[in-house]
Amino acid sequence: MEAVILLVMMMMMMSLWGPLVVVSGKVEASIKNRLGSGKNMTVHCQSKDDDLGLRTVPYDDAFSWEFGVNAGGTTLFYCVLGWESVGNYQFDAYSFGRDRVRCETRCEWLISVEGIYGLNGETGLLEYFYHWPIQ
């Protein structure tokens, strides 16, 4: 009987503490223009609940924002990028399943003429993630 009560108490504590622990984790995401001198890009990022608006980002500047990762593990931000002949290219800037470890506190992206690089916050290495569609 005591064991059952203990178990119930533990479950109650876990349900109280669990979400708090997850929600306290803030992530800073940034998308940096490395397309080359004089080249602008547009970026428009959104989640289910937030629309961060359409921004123009000049060379060497970054668009960044901060968000909390939700307890259900469904946090997803996607962005639509535009520059020169790449009209609209959509990619996931943060997806909990893919990025929970890779981007525990920071999710940095570099936009280059070759494609999109993501910084792996865990290893500190830049990874080539997406190439532009073949024209």
Q: Count of residues for the chain?
A: 135
Which residue number, 68 or 87, has a Cβ lying nearer to ligand NAG? 87
Q: Which residue among 9, 13, 17, 56 contacts ligand NAG (CB under 6 A)?
A: 56
**Minimum distance from residue 59 beta carbon to ligand NAG (Å):** 9
User: With CB under 6 A, what is the number of residues at the site for ligand NAG?
Assistant: 4
Residue 37 binds to ligand NAG (criterion: CB under 6 A): no
d(CA 49, CA 75): 10
Q: Which residue among 18, 36, 53, 58 contacts ligand NAG (CB under 6 A)?
A: 58
Residue 53 binds to ligand NAG (criterion: CB under 6 A): no
CA atoms within 13 A of residue 66's CA, in its CB half-sphere: 5
Q: Which residue among 38, 72, 124, 133 contacts ligand NAG (CB under 6 A)?
A: 38
Residue 40 binds to ligand NAG (criterion: CB under 6 A): yes
Chain residues binding ligand NAG by CB under 6 A are 38, 40, 56, 58
